[in-house]
Amino acid sequence: MNGCGPFDHSTLPHRSMSFLYHARLVAFAASVGLLAGCNGESVDSSGVSPVATENAANSATQFTIALYQFYATRQSYIAQGLAPNTFLHNRQLSDASSTSVTKPNHDTLYSIAMLQLDAGPIQIDTPASGTRYFSLALMDAYTNNFAIRGTSADNGVAKVFWVVGPNWQGTAPAGVTVLHSSTNAVWALARTYVSDANDYPAAWAVQNQLVVSRPAGTGVAAWDSVDTQKPPGYANWPAYFQYVNRLLKKSPPTPQDTAEVTNALDVIGIGPAQTFNASSADVASIDAGAAQALASLTGGGTQQAAAQTSTGSNGWTGGPANVGNYGTQYTLRARVALNGLGALPGSEAIYYTSTGAANTSGANYDGNGVYQMTFPAGQLPPARAFWSLTLYAGTNQAQAFFYPNPDGIYALSYPASNFQFASDGSLVLTISHVRPAGVPASNWLPAPAGAFNLTLRTYLPDAPLLNATYKLPPVIRVQ
């Protein structure tokens, strides 16, 4: 077989194909000599054709985007002076100045720690939060949530945990629960619910009970040159792959990944045992494949990702059930990393996104219009903790931040907002640039004069949300 005919390189998948199918074809092609060129197609010194290199770069980009975003976020906090294994507590709700993570919420206070487990286990004591919603999400370097502790798992009771890396062997003391990470780099992200400014002191008291310590025998952790290196961005793909190659050495793919990703990574010369060499690489093909991957990942953003297993309707797209625990769904993982990094699994929270009213034929939201969302009596979102409707300026899901309005209103939430219900028991929320006459201030969400998008979050969703029998009401343009 010479590689021509039905297995021509032109049949290899490009930007719309899943990573797994793509990587398998690259591996298959290599195994039967299909990468040696076809119809006179040139090959590089390794015998790999430009098309195969382009496809491999596409796949490698999709696989590594989450890893890149994880370390970029990690480095941003290190640059602010965050030490290893130390919690940084945000004492105020996120506002229009909060731009470190796309789509921040306006419902919880964040507590952030970047754990380094090379030197041994790290102990985390979680708070007694009582009836207040609290969650501690632990994410590996590939943004998989390997543990969620707090209200849902521990019923608001204080607990003690050891977080351990992939090579740890040992026994924890009695009363300590061991949480295993597949990487030594871990992002600990805690959320503590706060209703308003008057609730801050009680919420701070919960945050203060969240403590990191070093068990006996664990060495002192320190940042290395990979942790502190400023990420190169996406404008220079050879620099991106040089950087990502260092990340792969520090946080190698997991055993479940290796069989699927090794071939694509090998084609462009990156991996735990490799050193990327831009001078000998087919940079043009790598640039083309990586750019295709990024375009496909950002073109539809969260909407594309959620459409795979949508649980929404009426103009809303609901997050897939496997957000936060991706397995081998690398395309989904990459899209979420770009458009909603740090998203919780569906069992903890379900996020719904809407970019346009249900009655405007797909047009984006425009603050020059007036929009309403009506919940019939007794049909508020069935969430055990709380739900909120948040507005973000613009249409770019990867750069979605609060609209800096003079009223400082970024979200409406239940039960925190003092909603005014209609006489029939229904709840009408209004979204517009200027509050219309007769609309209660508590039911109004300010919008910019231009485009915006909406996210509705449900924390500790009940069965009707989890099984998609509950449908959010549509947002309708009324003026």
pLDDT at residue 275, as a whole number: 94
The answer as to whether 120 is a domain residue is yes
* Stretch among 21-25, 298-302, 430-434, 463-467 having the lowest mean pLDDT: 21-25
- Going across the sheet that includes 444-446, the strands are 444-446, 427-432, 370-375, 475-477
CA 431 to CA 366: how far, in whole Å?
10
Last residue in a domain, options 222, 241, 261:
222
Quote the percentage of the chain above a pLDDT of 90: 79
Spatial distance between the Cα atoms of 106 and 180, rounded to a whole number of angstroms: 30
Domain that holds residue 91: 85-222
Looking at residue 180, the DSSP 8-state letter turns out to be E
Q: How many residues does the chain have?
A: 479
> Lowest mean pLDDT: which of 39-48, 168-177, 440-449?
39-48
Q: Are residues 387 and 317 in the same domain?
A: yes
Q: How confident is the model at residue 340 (pLDDT cuts 50, 70, 90)?
A: confident
Confidence (pLDDT) at 312: 57
Residue 349 scores a pLDDT above 90: yes
pLDDT at 319: 67
**pLDDT recorded at residue 121:** 98
Report the range of poorest mean pLDDT among 39-48, 105-114, 229-238.
39-48
Q: Tell whether 78 is covered by a domain.
A: no
In a domain? residue 77: no
When comparing pLDDT for 60 and 299, which is higher?
60
Cα dihedral 391/93/441/452 (nearest 10): -10
Mean pLDDT confidence for 330-343: 92
| 318 and 462 inside one domain | yes
* CATH number reported for the structural domain that contains residue 212 in this entry: 2.60.40.1610
Q: Is the domain of 89 the same as that of 61?
A: no
Instruction: Pull the structure tokens for residue 20.
Output: 């797994």
Arithmetic mean of pLDDT, 42-71: 88
357-364 long-range contacts, CB within 8 A, separation 24+: 357/315, 357/474, 357/475, 357/476, 357/477, 358/314, 358/315, 358/474, 358/475, 358/476, 359/474, 359/476, 359/477, 360/477, 364/395, 364/451, 364/453
Q: How far apart are the first and last CA of the chain?
A: 65
Together in a domain, 410 and 314: yes
Is the pLDDT at 133 greater than 70, yes or no?
yes
Tens-place pLDDT, residues 373-390: 999 999 999 999 999 999
pLDDT above 50 for 5: no
- When mean pLDDT is compared across 37-51, 204-218, 439-453, the lowest value belongs to 37-51
Q: How confident is the model at residue 24 (pLDDT cuts 50, 70, 90)?
A: very low
Give tens-digit pLDDT for 182-224. Answer: 999 999 999 999 999 999 999 999 999 999 999 999 999 999 9
- Please give the tally of structural domains in the chain: 3
Q: Do 120 and 64 belong together in one domain?
A: no
In this structure, are 37 and 99 located in the same domain?
no
Give yes or no: residues 272 and 309 share one domain: no
Clarify whether residues 351 and 471 are in a common domain: yes
Alpha carbons 91 and 85: distance in angstroms, whole number? 19
| pLDDT score recorded for residue 17 | 31
The average pLDDT across 3-24 equals: 31
Tell which wins on pLDDT, 42 or 451.
Answer: 451
| Residue at 36 is within a domain | yes
Within a domain: 80? no
Mean pLDDT for all residues in the chain: 88
Query: Is the C-alpha dihedral spanning 224, 276, 21, 396 positive or negative?
Result: positive
Check which CATH number belongs to the domain holding 358 and give it. 2.60.120.600
Residue range 388-413: average pLDDT?
94
Q: What pLDDT was estimated at residue 448?
A: 98
> Is the pLDDT confidence value at 344 over 70?
yes
- Is pLDDT above 90 for 139? yes
Is the residue at 277 inside a domain? yes
Within a domain: residue 79?
Answer: no
What pLDDT was estimated at residue 109? 97
Domain end call among 222, 244, 278 = 222
Query: Quick check: 309 pLDDT over 60?
Result: no
Q: Residue 446: its pLDDT value, please?
A: 98
Location of structure tokens 């590939």: 142
The answer to whether residue 76 is domain-embedded is no
- Burial class of 108 by CB neighbour count within 10 A (0 to 12, 13 to 18, 19+): buried
Q: Are residues 93 and 165 in the same domain?
A: yes
Q: Is 209 strand, coil or helix?
A: coil
Query: Do 105 and 236 fall into the same domain?
Result: no
| pLDDT at res. 46 | 59
Mean pLDDT of 70-88: 97
Mean pLDDT to the nearest integer, 63-71: 98
Q: Is the pLDDT of residue 12 over 50?
A: no
Last residue of a domain, one of 174, 200, 222: 222
- Specify the pLDDT at position 111: 97
Mean pLDDT over 9-35 rounds to 32
Task: List beta partners, residue 349.
Answer: 459
Average pLDDT over residues 11-23: 32
Residue 21 has a pLDDT of: 31
Same domain, 252 and 127: no
Q: Is the confidence at residue 32, as pLDDT, over 70?
A: no
- Asked if 310 and 449 sit in the same domain, the reply is yes
- pLDDT band with cut points at 50, 70 and 90 for residue 264: very high
